[in-house]
Amino acid sequence: MAASGYTDLDRPPLSERALTRALVQPGGLWSRIEVRAETGSTNADAAAAARDGAAEGLVVVAERQVAGRGRRDRQWVSPARAGLTLSVLLRPGAADPARDWPAAAPGAVGWLPLLAGVALAGAVSRVAGVEAALKWPNDLLVDDRKCAGILAEVAGDAIVVGIGLNVSTRAEELPETTGVPATSLRVAGAENFDRDPLLRALLRGLERWYGGWREAAGDAEMCGLLGEYRRRCATIGRAVRVLLPGGGELTGEATTVDRDGRLVVRTVDGAEHRVSAGDVLHVR
């Protein structure tokens, strides 16, 4: 029998050929899928490709990422093949006459990490059979613990959206955190933690939501994204503490997410604050 090339039998490698055959279709969003055994950062790889003129729809997947990071440059670590680590290259600012897509307004691109969260939550719930919720702006929660993070970055005239999902990570392999405790689909008791159908469901969901959002010229309310995000968002209705980029903070109740993707926080004096960026802590 030939050597398998990997030793952890419940963590089989992804097949670039099978994923390409299933997901790269004429007229579809995905133009190329690359599966790499190891890389520093899929976001950095996709950003470099964007600067070199790569077409919209490039997907870079890493079986092992050694220099991944999240918001505020936090490190994202996962054992080889234990999670889904990927980045997608999007060009929402360019009209696409072939698909009848107008250019999205520059202010609308802040919706892309939220859109990715909706697609991810749908894939996890459907394929893994666990209840998944979103913590504004970029975390996926399972049992109130962080199971995935999303990071969107500008790369020239493109946007790169990176996703890291803990799939078969065991409890003893989870990283220690100072904020929300980490979990994985395995730890949460998922019915299925096969990465292949999870990745296919995620990319199909991303394609569907992104296509609708582009057809609506980036109007999240018109395409139904705003309503779906609000439905899945665990932050709405919670007491929160928001750490703002400039060093300040807000404490109050998160009342909604507005049509621009901003979190609306009502403080004790009744004032409403619209937050476009920040780290949110759910106050118990």
pLDDT of residue 8: 74
Phi and psi at 49, nearest 5°, equal -65, -40
Positions in the chain whose pLDDT score sits under 70: 1-7, 68-77
Integer Cα distance of 131 and 243 in angstroms: 27
Instruction: Please tell me the pTM assigned to this model.
Output: 0.94
pLDDT of residue 195: 98
Integer Cα distance of 134 and 121 in angstroms: 7
Q: What is the pLDDT of residues 18-60, one digit of tens each?
A: 999 999 999 999 999 999 999 999 999 999 999 999 999 999 9
Integer Cα distance of 81 and 9 in angstroms: 10
The domain spans of the chain are 16-231, 235-282
How far is residue 182 CA from its own chain's centroid? 16
Homologous superfamily of 16-231: Bira Bifunctional Protein; Domain 2 (3.30.930.10)
- As given in the structure block, the two tokens for residue 259 are 């049509």
Q: Which DSSP category does 253 fall into? A: E
Selection from 82, 164, 167, 180 nearest residue 130 by Cα: 167
Cβ proximity of 44 and 125 under 8 Å:
no
Selection from 232, 231, 255 nearest residue 242 by Cα: 255
What's the topology of domain 235-282?
A: SH3 type barrels. (2.30.30)
pLDDT of residue 75: 63
pLDDT of residue 30: 98
Selection from 75, 244, 235, 73 nearest residue 144 by Cα: 235
Helices (H) and strands (E) in the chain, counts: 5, 12
pLDDT of residue 71: 52
